[in-house]
Amino acid sequence: MATTTAAITLTSADLLTDALSLSATNTLYKAGTTVGLDQTTGMARAFLTATTVVDIFPQLIEGSIAFENKSSWVYICNKSEDETEFFTVKICENVIGKLYAGDFLWMPWSMRESVNANNHHGDITVAPSVDTGMAIEFTCINEGTEYPTENLVTS
């Protein structure tokens, strides 16, 4: 069983009158258990040169709802160094927010099926703000992966 730990520290010495210091740590488990997550997409890095909206985890959501409501964790980081450039991050067509240069997110993902019946199980998508090239890193640590089946040529 794998062990994955995640920790966050939020600090600011000058936001408030008193210093802000908030820390949290947890181990990533399969849904409702104390069994560690054991699958991952691995860390990916992409360089996107169009402002097209792209699905960054297509391998996790095709075909069935086998992993709906399981435990999955997503990390996305905008690797741009230009503070004006951002990625718009959506889940199933709903805008979560914008990751500006150097920003990251860390969030759970339920892979809920859309009622649009298009097998887009809570697609997580990103769209660069410019088409001059923006780098992004992302990974998913998850409980189950459904890979697309072989696309056989039948003609």
Partner 1 sequence: MATITAQLTVNSDITDYGIAINKSMTLTKAGTNNGLERTTGVQRVYLKDTKHIDLAKGGLANTNLEDMTVTGNTAGKVYIKYLSDDTSKYVIIGLGNEADNVTATALNGDATFFEIGRLYGNEWMIIPWNGASNVGDITVQPSIATTADQAIVEYIVFFE
Q: Which pair of structure tokens corresponds to residue 99?
A: 């990751």
Cβ closest to partner 1, residue 102 vs residue 133: 102
Encoded amino acid at 82, one letter: D
Q: Would you count residue 51 as binding partner 1 (CB under 8 A)?
A: no
Q: Which pair of structure tokens corresponds to residue 86?
A: 């951002």
Minimum separation from the CB atom of position 48 to partner 1 (A): 18
Of positions 52, 64, 69, 132, contacts partner 1 by CB under 8 A? 69
Q: Tell me, residue by residue from 80 to 109, as one string, x for binding to partner 1 by CB under 8 A and - for no binding.
A: ---xx-x--x-xxxxxxxxxx-xxxxxxxx
Q: Tell me, residue by residue from 106 to 145, as one string, x for binding to partner 1 by CB under 8 A and - for no binding.
A: xxxxx-xxxxx-----x----------------x-x----
Give yes or no for a contact between 124 and 55, defined as CB atoms under 8 angstroms apart.
yes
Q: How far apart are CA 143 and CA 146, in angstroms?
A: 10
Q: Which pair of structure tokens corresponds to residue 119?
A: 């097998």
The values of phi and psi at residue 3, to 5°, are: -120, 120
Q: Tell me, residue by residue from 11 to 50, as one string, x for binding to partner 1 by CB under 8 A and - for no binding.
A: xxxxxx---x-x-x-x-xx-xxxx--xxxx-xx-------
Cβ closest to partner 1, residue 121 vs residue 150: 121
Cβ closest to partner 1, residue 51 vs residue 110: 110
Q: Would you count residue 66 as binding partner 1 (CB under 8 A)?
A: no
From the list 120, 126, 116, the residue with the least C-alpha distance to 90 is 126
Q: How far apart are CA 50 and CA 29, in angstroms?
A: 36
